[in-house]
Chain A
């Protein structure tokens, strides 16, 4: 999920990030509204988008794999609690997968700064709060890959020491160094941010720009689809 952005020049890369953000949110609504037939349509759309964005299948599988247990759980719950057969139980799983795939397309074609700029711009009506929220999201995203790697390194180091990653002892061996590192990392990052002149009223302009005609067309068209879906 994280660190998936790759610079590219596909059609999807070129659409304004604000539009992409809104469209992804809209797709989320559609995914929940859609009936089985609608889900088929959306699946076709996903495959098309993935093709256009040029995302390799292996990275999609990699993104979905950790969720497998979760999917299985949803499937079983629906199958056992609500009846209705295998197909009915598969529908909520399909919804989740589609949602993740749409988000992957967004994250793959939109950089963190673009997203941040888009969030700031969309939250302008909220004032300073919107800016800070967008900034916090950005920082959290910047810290995440490092934390994941720390966890990996610590787990390996303890394994090399003969400390199995199981049980209370294994948990302590992982969590104590991880927490210490994370706090230190957060401290260091805040020093670095301050030293690079971060301030609350900073403006995001390098990745900005006005919405073009295509954006309004896309947003309008998509809005119409959602309205139709709501009515039908």
Chain B
């Protein structure tokens, strides 16, 4: 059992966690959710002694994490899979990466062999064993990280947003494996923004502003054994944990509402992609969800004005596009195969597909950052060139800020275009308005904003130069539900969907199909470099 008793933690400038008490039983499947910056990752690092709290104590099976002598034992029983798949691999090949942890805990060589096979097989990636980690895709790396931690066979496994880059089928598989592990008495602690990933949890807690603001437990439906430590069937939670919550039962309904709200408008879509139905497990708490009801303005209101493909020579014409990385070498990777596609102006085109399907490659080619191996791209009749009328926003665009204030960042493009000062100011203000940020943000440092604000500021940077086309690569990656809403709203405004300003043609690239369907007029789906679907949003929904 992991027990947190009255934990407070602050970084030099700001308090992060305040008086958090929590206990996690053997075989429990705990979900932790909360907005960006609410303190979730700090909480994770407290669990295995990477951080020590200033107040209160964390104990793992009775041993406090402040006991430096027992740190090895604690880390052996609490495994953590972190968020960033690029910063966790220690080995050059997948095999070496898994061996690293196993050598640390002195697993005999023959057993190492067995475990590598077992866990790579479990995650469906046995063929990656001898591959070079740095050449894998983000999702593949996440699977390798998960395998490496699972192979150490810890008693508690923490997943800190560790599924964010997985496509639907891999995500499904990992969620299934997590449930299986809890059946065998292993505790799973899963941190995520994505409510649909928490469907199998025994209990979900919400953290906001450093406190546990709510708990949804399913303890009432679970038979509580007299022996409080038993976890035979995996669905039991130790008795003293079951009803424990910081704020009492009064908060429960708020959490249910929170989940209800976040689940509702993406629900219909998600049900089709995710058999782990989030609402199913809430059934006992929330009587019956009214089918077809949508939250506020987030209905699909863009079926009317879409006419389909635009006039000849206008828009982006892609003809027989093929692209191969490192051609003529043994590492040649075919990324796109004979893709022909027309992207009309003034609308949102969603480019969807699984990991490694060629989405980002297509984006870079349209933006003129790469030259295709063969085939052609014409943007309003001209060939693409970087910095032209197509702007691309890579994943996590806020990481590319280098200016001191948001104003400087947004003004960079327009002033470089040689506009007079007042025109620069006007474009800065209109860009900020268009993405829905307050003007007060202009004088702040881009690094001091919340993650949602940073993302929107990066949007403003790219639309300040009034480009004709904007390509957004996974624009909601790593954001909480609230910030996602803001981003989707901003996309609608950019294209003129909300009435104000706009007129930008948006190409929205993502593996989160549900979100794309909320805003896209047309959908193009890639699979292993081939275009497998192209048509209107409604056609896509019908077909799936």
Contact = CB atoms under 8 A, between A and B. Distances in A.
Contacts of A193: 90
A139 B109 CA distance: 22
B334 interface: no
A196 B90 contact: yes
A7 B93 CA distance: 9
Interface string A148-180: 010001101111111100000000110011001
Interface string A1-41: 01101110000000000000000000000000000000000
B139 interface: no
Contact of A163 (B109, B130, B412): B412
B103 A159 contact: no
A175 to B, nearest CB: 8
B87 A177 contact: no
A111 interface: yes
In the complex, the 7 A-B pairs of residues with the closest C-beta atoms, listed nearest first: A112-B92, A145-B134, A162-B387, A188-B87, A176-B402, A196-B101, A197-B104
B50 interface: yes
B92 A113 contact: yes
Nearest to A8: B130
15 contacts: A5-B132, A56-B330, A113-B99, A142-B90, A159-B387, A162-B416, A172-B402, A177-B400, A185-B84, A192-B80, A192-B88, A195-B78, A195-B80, A196-B104, A199-B104
Contact of A191 (B45, B78, B135): B45
Interface string B112-135: 100000000000000000101011
B92 A197 contact: no
A58 B45 contact: no
Contacts of B198: none
A199 B72 contact: yes
Contacts of B392: 157, 160
B536 to A, nearest CB: 29
A24 B86 CA distance: 31
A127 B104 CA distance: 18
Interface stretch (A76-84, A202-210, A222-230): A202-210
B379 interface: no
Contacts of A199: 72, 104
Contacts of A205: 103, 109
A158 B403 CA distance: 12
B48 interface: yes
Nearest to B132: A3
Given A176-B402, A202-B104, A161 B89 contact: no
Contacts of A142: 89-92
Interface of B: 45, 48, 50, 72, 75-76, 78-80, 82, 84, 86-93, 96, 99-106, 109, 112, 130, 132, 134-135, 148-149, 152, 328-330, 364, 367, 369, 386-387, 391-392, 394, 397, 399-402, 412-413, 416-417, 461-462, 465
A163 B387 CA distance: 8
Given A161-B462, A197-B101, A180 B82 contact: no
A67 interface: no
A87 B416 CA distance: 51
Nearest to B48: A195
Nearest to A150: B86
Given A153-B394, A181-B399, A161 B80 contact: no
A214 interface: no
Given A5-B93, A161-B387, A196 B100 contact: yes
A194 B75 contact: yes
Given A161-B400, A189-B90, A195-B78, 4 more contacts: A56-B329, A157-B392, A196-B104, A196-B152
